């Protein structure tokens, strides 16, 4: 009985190690793709389908954005509202402004202060709403991505 238990534990450990290595391989592949995309020098922005936290995909389009400032729709979650605007310069997202983030209490404000800059940085790097959620700021990330996508839609129309 004891040998059987040891064999099961070893098999489970090997299975977990295999999953871990497979996940790291996918992460490295995504990082390389992101670096390649950031280094592109053309005015056209390629947005590749990337699953985000809502299991939605961004639109696969090869088109630059129209220069200007575009405000996304306000998105509510249980901690407050999130609304962003994007600045487009040279057909690319040059900046994201946080118009509103959850800040009804000190914890929400702290999470917003932590997550906001990371979300902005990733948006500018990827030039799309196909960004990863920030751990510990799931609801804020979801709302940010939704508001961002509505601003991006306006920049394309």
Q: Which residues contact 99 (CB under 8 A, 6 or more apart)?
A: 71, 83, 84, 85
115 vs 117: CA distance, rounded Å = 6
pLDDT band at 29 (very low <50, low <70, confident <90, very high): very low
> Could you state, in order of their start, the residue ranges of all structural domains in the chain?
1-39, 46-156
Question: Whose CA is closest to 131, among 72, 49, 74, 71?
Answer: 49
Residue range 76-85: average pLDDT?
Answer: 96
- At residue 60, the pLDDT reads 37
pLDDT at 35 over 50: no
The answer to whether residues 85 and 71 touch, using CB atoms and an 8 Å cutoff, is: yes
107 vs 40, residue with greater confidence: 107
> Domain 46-156 belongs to what architecture?
Alpha-Beta Complex (3.90)
Asked whether residue 59 carries a pLDDT value surpassing 90, the answer given is no
Give the span between the Cα atoms of 154 and 148, in whole angstroms.
10
pLDDT confidence of residue 1: 80
pLDDT of residue 56 exceeding 70, the answer is no
């Amino acid at each position: 009985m004891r040998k059987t238990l040891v064999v099961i534990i070893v098999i489970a450990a090997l299975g977990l190690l295999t999953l871990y290595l497979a996940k790291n391989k996918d992460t490295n592949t995504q990082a390389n793709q992101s670096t390649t995309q950031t280094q592109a020098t053309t005015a056209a922005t390629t947005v590749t389908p990337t699953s985000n936290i809502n299991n939605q995909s961004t639109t696969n389009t090869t088109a630059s954005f129209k220069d200007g400032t575009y405000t996304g729709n306000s998105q509510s979650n249980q901690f407050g509202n999130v609304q962003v605007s994007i600045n487009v310069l040279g057909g690319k997202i040059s900046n994201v402004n946080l118009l509103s983030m959850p800040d009804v209490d000190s914890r929400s404000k702290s999470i917003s202060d932590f997550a906001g800059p990371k979300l902005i940085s990733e948006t500018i790097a990827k030039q799309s709403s196909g960004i990863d959620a920030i751990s510990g700021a799931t609801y804020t990330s979801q709302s940010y991505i939704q508001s961002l996508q509505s601003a991006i839609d306006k920049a394309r129309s």
